[in-house]
Amino acid sequence: MALTIAVVSSELFAPRIRELASEFSDIHFIYYTYKHSTEARTIASDLPNVDAVFFAGTFPYYHAKSILDERQLPVYVMRQDEAVVTATLLQAGWLHQVAPQDISIDLTDPVLIHEIVTEISPGHTIGAVLQIDPNISQQAVVQFHSYAQQSGRVRVAITSIHAVHEELIQKGYRSVYMRELKRTLVRALAQTAYLARLSKSQKAEPAVMLISKSHADPTFHATIRRHVQGSWFPYNEDTDQFITTRKHVEFVMEQSEFREFLETSRARTGIGYGLDILTATRHAEDALDFSSEGGIYIMDAQKNLSSPMSSERITLQLTQPNQVLLAKRMGLSPANLSKLISFYAIHPSNQFTAQDLENFLGVTRRSTERIIKKCVDHKLVVATGEEMTYQQGRPRTIYTFTLPDFLTV
């Protein structure tokens, strides 16, 4: 599977990637270099269609993150670690014959350098340390290193910022640019490729979309089929079923016009992903149960529930073996059993009505009654009474939880 990966780095870093490109024959690298990390935001805005983005540092990623989040691209970020800092300390020592106390260094986590020096040179301390963050100015970092050398406190600077390194060298100061080991870099590129392949395979995985609306007219169905490309089946009297791919679903859900149509038409939408169509269908059914009128919910292969209309992400997964076995025995989805346990946990008493549960789940009365019946059949709840809120009408059944201990711990 051929991949295209964008490399966003300083001008000094890009040649190192080019040296290693031959080790990745199935990857096409596109290079985008900057003089200052703030330029990464513009680079991210202008990126073509790529399979992943590799950032040579945390600062450029920080400036580009909001753009990349919108595009939902896989991203790998090179971060400072013990190997990089230790290798650069050794390089500075060999090149300039200096001890740790003769060095000034800038890095994101000062604790890292102190731990390394304590390990490799007990009894010594680093000469001067500056903690940096994405908002620090280049001039402030240059002044820190230049003043440390002017005052005689240190003899050489170690910097993780390419532009700072170049300016220090131009002004006649000693500087060593922090650089990753070749093995670390190869591993990072391989991880980027893995993220790209994983994303591609996820986009190709089966997806099932269930769109439910009572008494829908032909115009509603025609609009749905115009937007959603895939095999269509009537799921039941009120619900359309589409079998398609995750990639297409993500494309459709990015269309604000379509999302607004589903919301304003008060349709309930459940989308499921899975390794096969059967699993994706079960997940779509669970997502549909969770959805209220105008709502859209998506359940992925790991049973994480999310909505394109919210940043909320809910894990609807049973982790205890007894819970999983009970869900299978009841014919109740793990999602619904998980929601029932959550309802029990936050309910002020162990008594409730179908209306209480319906309001909590945000599903139809029919779905709520189906869940309650399964719970009654398996003795998770029992009917213990009735209430009349009005003089006329049918009384409402009061249910009491009788959950076993393994469901409530």
Question: pTM above 0.85?
Answer: no
Q: In 175-267, at which residue ranges do the beta strands (DSSP E only) sit?
A: 175-177, 206-212, 231-236, 239-245
- The CATH code of the domain at 321-408 is 1.10.10.10
Structural domain spans, the chain: 3-78+182-201, 82-177, 205-315, 321-408
Instruction: Evaluate whether 298 touches 307 at the Cβ level (below 8 Å).
Output: yes
Question: 333 with 380: CB under 8 angstroms?
Answer: no
**Residue labelled with tokens 């970092």:** 141
Q: What is the pLDDT of residue 313?
A: 52
* Residue 340, pLDDT score: 81
pLDDT value of residue 271:
94
d(CA 177, CA 229) in angstroms, rounded, equals 52
Q: Are 305 and 299 in contact (CB under 8 A)?
A: yes
Residue 17 DSSP SS3: helix
Domains 3-78+182-201 and 82-177 share a fold: yes
CA dihedral 241, 247, 252, 254 (to 10 degrees): 140
Distance between CA atoms of residues 302 and 316, nearest Å: 9
Helix (H, G, I), strand (E, B) or coil at 228: coil
Distance CA 315, CA 11 (A): 42
At residue 3, what is the residue type?
L
The helix or strand, by DSSP H or E, that contains position 258, with its residue range, turns out to be helix 256-264
H or E segment and range at residue 331:
none
What is the pLDDT, as a whole number, of residue 390?
Answer: 47
Protein fold of 205-315: Alpha-Beta Plaits (3.30.70)
C-alpha–C-alpha distance, residues 269 and 262, integer Å: 8
Rounded Cα distance between 141 and 108, Å, is 12
Each residue's pLDDT, cut to its tens digit, for the chain (409 residues) gives 589 999 999 888 899 899 998 889 889 999 999 988 899 999 999 999 899 999 998 899 999 999 988 888 899 998 888 888 999 999 999 999 999 999 999 999 898 899 899 888 888 889 999 999 988 999 999 999 999 999 999 999 999 998 899 999 999 999 999 988 888 899 899 999 988 988 888 778 899 999 988 877 888 888 888 888 888 888 888 888 999 998 888 888 888 888 888 888 888 999 999 888 988 999 999 888 878 788 888 988 888 878 887 655 555 555 566 676 777 778 777 667 777 877 787 665 678 888 888 877 767 778 888 889 988 988 888 888 876 554 555 677 888 888 776 665 4
Q: Please state at what angle helix 277-290 crosses helix 334-346, rounded to 10 degrees.
A: 30
Per-residue pLDDT, 202: 78
Query: Length of the chain in residues, anyone?
Result: 409
Given the structure tokens 């870099």, which residue do they identify?
Answer: 185
Strand 231-236 and strand 206-212: pairing?
A: unpaired
Sheet holding 304-307, edge to edge: 231-236, 239-245, 206-212, 268-273, 296-299, 304-307, 310-315
In DSSP terms, which residues pair with 31 in a beta bridge? Answer: 7
Domain range 82-177, its CATH number among 3.30.70.980, 3.40.50.10660, 2.40.30.30, 3.40.50.300? 3.40.50.10660
Q: Supply 330's token pair.
A: 């009841």
CA 283, CA 286: separation in Å to the nearest integer? 5
Structure tokens at 393: 């009408």
pLDDT of amino acid 310: 61
E strands within 100-205? 103-107, 128-131, 156-159, 175-177
Select 3-78+182-201's CATH number: 3.20.20.60, 3.40.50.1450, 3.90.420.10, 3.40.50.2300. Answer: 3.40.50.2300
Alpha-carbon distances of 180 from 17, 22, 107, 224, rounded to whole Å: 11, 18, 14, 51
Pairing of strands 396-401, 103-107: unpaired
